[in-house]
Amino acid sequence: MSEAEDDINELDSETENGDVEMCLMSEVDYSEQAPTYKSRPGGEAVPKVKQVEFNDNPDSLFFNDGKRRIDLVLVYEDESKHASDKKGSIFRRKQRRREVFEGSLMDFGVELEATQSVIDEKLFYVKLHMPFDTLCSYAELLHIRLPIKPNDLATQSSTYNCFTKYFYPSEDVIPKETSFFTAPFKKDQLNSFYVKDQEQFFTPAMRSRMAYYVLNRAPYDVKGSMKKYGFSKLMNGGVYKDAYPLHDCRFNVKSKEPKCPNERFLLYNEWANPKSFYKMQPLNLIRKYFGEKISIYFAWLGFYTFMLFLAAAVGLGCFIYGYSNRESSTWSKEVCDPLIGGQIVMCPQCDKDCPYWRLNITCESSKRLCIFDNYGTLVFAVFMSVWVTLFLEFWKRYQAVLEHDWDTVEFLQQEEQPRPEYEARCTHDRINPVTQSKERVPYSACGKCMRMSCGIGTVLFWILLIIASVVGVIVYRLAMFIVFSSRLRSDWKNRKELEPFKEYVTPQMATSLTASIISFIVIMILNNVYEKVAIWITDFELPRTKTEYENSLTLKMFLFQFVNYYSSCFYIAFFKGKVVGYPGQPVYWFGAYRNEECDPGGCLTELTTQLSIIMTGKAVWNNIQEVLLPWVKNLIFRHCTQVGSEKVIPRWEQDYQLQPIGKLGLFYEYLEMVIQFGFVTLFVASFPLAPLLALINNMFEIRVDAWKITTQFRRIVPEKAQDIGAWQPILQGVAILAVATNAAIIAFTSDMIPRLVYYWAFSVSPYAGSSNHTMAGFINSSLSVFNTEDFSETSRPDATVSWSNITTCRYRDFRYPPGHHNQYEFSKYYWHVIAAKLAFMIVVEHIVYFTKFMLSYMIPDVPEALKEQIKRERYLTQVILHETNIKQFKELMKPVADTLQDQVEEPELDLKF
């Protein structure tokens, strides 16, 4: 059975007599859901959509009459004339559903006009227009806020305007919009609102949003009280191919239509064009053209990028400090010194096949470690903990301003309606706890609990699978370290031309590099799998509104991505090299693989390598996908459907040649940025250049996303959004976790604490002969001694790789030497270091958390000036509406008052006579 037949069978089921059996999906009171809904008497024919020829005006945004604006376009394919008998019945069924659906739209007060494609005769475009009266009805239903009068409150100019004005688009190009006092629309109070022109009263974004709302609630099958509806069902069944609002012009050419505002052209030139990379974003125009949901994303991304400038500058300063001191650090000098590091023989790091080796071969890696493991890193980690708090708090303030300016403060409480998929499955009755009235829900309390339990269980199962993949990469590291140790040794010995690379390509570095690349590939593959799993689980849970749906999906996808992207970094930072035993008694994984040890310089370099590969690879791959993929698809589509130069292609057909935006809109853009935010904050103590890489990527990301949705995608159906949704608490959770991870990296992954303990305690008497604090001798004190006679048979190096006359070797740990009465047990130095690490964690965390709390308390979420403005606006709005109501009441009562006055005057005249 074909895919199209499966989709249709989801919509219908036929009885043995060939009749269509109607499935009772929901009984909806359309008097509440659709104020303009009209029922047809039984047997009345469904009204047909008028089909017209294209009028050869490619820039037109109107019906053929040039007066009714196109608010939405539906596309369908009619193959009934060219189909076989079996497929012909499927297409006739689609046609019947299409006719009923379009008839329902007309019953809802929507006007339709159909036009055949000039490129493909099988394609048809149905244009939708919402008359003013219909728009008023749905504006009241959706509680859309509309202007009452111009805002006469003086806005306070920012002290930074004198600087930032040079980076904003010129007001001659993008005029500043007039600010209005607004209120939820009421049809019976139309005179209270600022209706200067009925055609301009509702913006194109509002019109398209209301048209799409009607689209999702118009039934496509009606029999008595039984109705089936949901435009997504028609899309999945192939009845329609897409629904989209029109771009107002071509992105690089102005429209010749006199009524066209050419907003797409302005957005491309002043925002999406690479030449405008230095300009601030025209957020009001983005909101006007694409809606609040898109504009709030770009507002957040722009604010995040702006805040990264400070973090990147401090991080770059920290990197320069470490780079300039890499040659002068005492411990790297001791490693590279032939008389110190060159005389220290290190124990093999694997069983049998690994040889002894001298410490000075890690000279270059020790210098690289000094770049990232220094006191500047500690300062930078504390700074980033404060920075992330400032970022979140100032974003809340900026978001509050946008909510007020864009009239989304009360959006979630008033405007958002249930999803059609939710409404279609409402079969259970319950008492609403707020209204105490009966309402219908898709599941009982027990059913909801079962769905949530299944969802949570599935999420946990797939998270465990991700962890299993990480364990697989760890096993690869353990196995390949042995291979690289023996293979590189033979290569250095047999091929003299490779001798210069001996200091740079160590077995640890080769294992780390290849494992990081494999880990990145596995991450990108698993992303596609987990995306489908998360969507399936969320669909099964059946959230009520689109916001609830996206929040639920957001949490699941972030959990998957968190484990997927960060698990390898957590392993390197907090587990690798921590439980390895000592050469005589190493620790094994699964009884076969010897646990990995860190490089003598520590695991911080490897963590830096992992972060840089994943961050850079992810950014490059995503940008290639976002730029190249839609461009190539559009190029192929245009090539396959190209027509003669004499053909004129209408605006709606030009838009259909672009790519659809997808059901989740910019969800993946948010996810990409939040994952990046985690890399910038969670592990920044090991990689101070992470904010700089993020800044460079984001400067490209803003323009790439703008170019993509402006030039390569069909226009998005505008949606409202109050804030960034579930991403806000996720960012706050990452910020809290970042304090603990960075403190733990400094304490347990870097060598900063052991160095400080040596400098302040063990470099002077009674542990050393010197009376002055010094770092000289730190390398010798951080390496324990092992007697080669104490190797077990399984770990003893083979004779072919062992060195002659070697009686002792060194390893990275703090244990008593052989011959001591507590030989190979942890020394006093070890317990001093552990105590210092724990004390550092506790003190730093408490100081940073207290600082974050104080900053959060001192910075209010809503600016005081905005609070006063909101109060003033509400007061004036109430006065205006109250005065309007009194005026309307007086106008209604005037005939009654005149009649009463006449009745009073008549008896007085009679008395005079």
Mean pLDDT by 10 residues, the chain (913 residues): 41 36 36 49 69 87 89 86 62 85 89 89 91 90 84 59 68 80 82 82 90 87 69 84 91 84 90 85 91 92 94 93 85 88 87 82 84 87 90 92 83 57 65 60 69 76 77 75 62 52 60 74 76 81 78 85 83 83 84 73 78 83 80 78 68 90 81 90 89 91 91 89 87 91 89 88 77 84 90 80 80 90 91 92 90 88 81 76 71 72 62 46
The residue written with tokens 């005492």 in the block is 330
Dig out the tokens for 818 from the structure. Answer: 């052989």
Dig out the tokens for 274 from the structure. Answer: 């690479």
Residue type, 163: F
Dig out the tokens for 904 from the structure. Answer: 């009073």
* Sequence-separated (6 or more) residues with CB below 8 Å from residue 468: none
Q: State how beta strands 808-812 and 783-787 pair.
A: antiparallel
pLDDT at 14: 36
Q: State how beta strands 111-116 and 51-52 pair.
A: parallel
Residue 201 CA to residue 187 CA, distance in Å, equals: 13
Collapsing DSSP states into helix, strand and coil, what is residue 594? strand
Bridge partner residues of 76 (DSSP): 124
Number of helical (H) and strand (E) elements in the chain, helices listed first: 28, 19
| Residue 370: CA count within 13 A, CB half-sphere | 21
Residue 97 CA to residue 220 CA, distance in Å, equals: 6
Residue 104 CA to residue 218 CA, distance in Å, equals: 6
Residue 534 CA to residue 452 CA, distance in Å, equals: 13
Dig out the tokens for 145 from the structure. Answer: 């806020």
The residue written with tokens 């009772």 in the block is 24
Distance, C-alpha 837 to centroid of its chain: 36
pLDDT at 692: 93
Dig out the tokens for 436 from the structure. Answer: 């105490």
Contact 294, 666 (CB under 8 A): yes
Handedness of CA 177, 180, 185, 190 (dihedral sign): negative
Contact 658, 712 (CB under 8 A): yes
Contact 377, 322 (CB under 8 A): yes
* Cβ count near 266 (within 10 Å): 20
Residue 351 CA to residue 758 CA, distance in Å, equals: 31
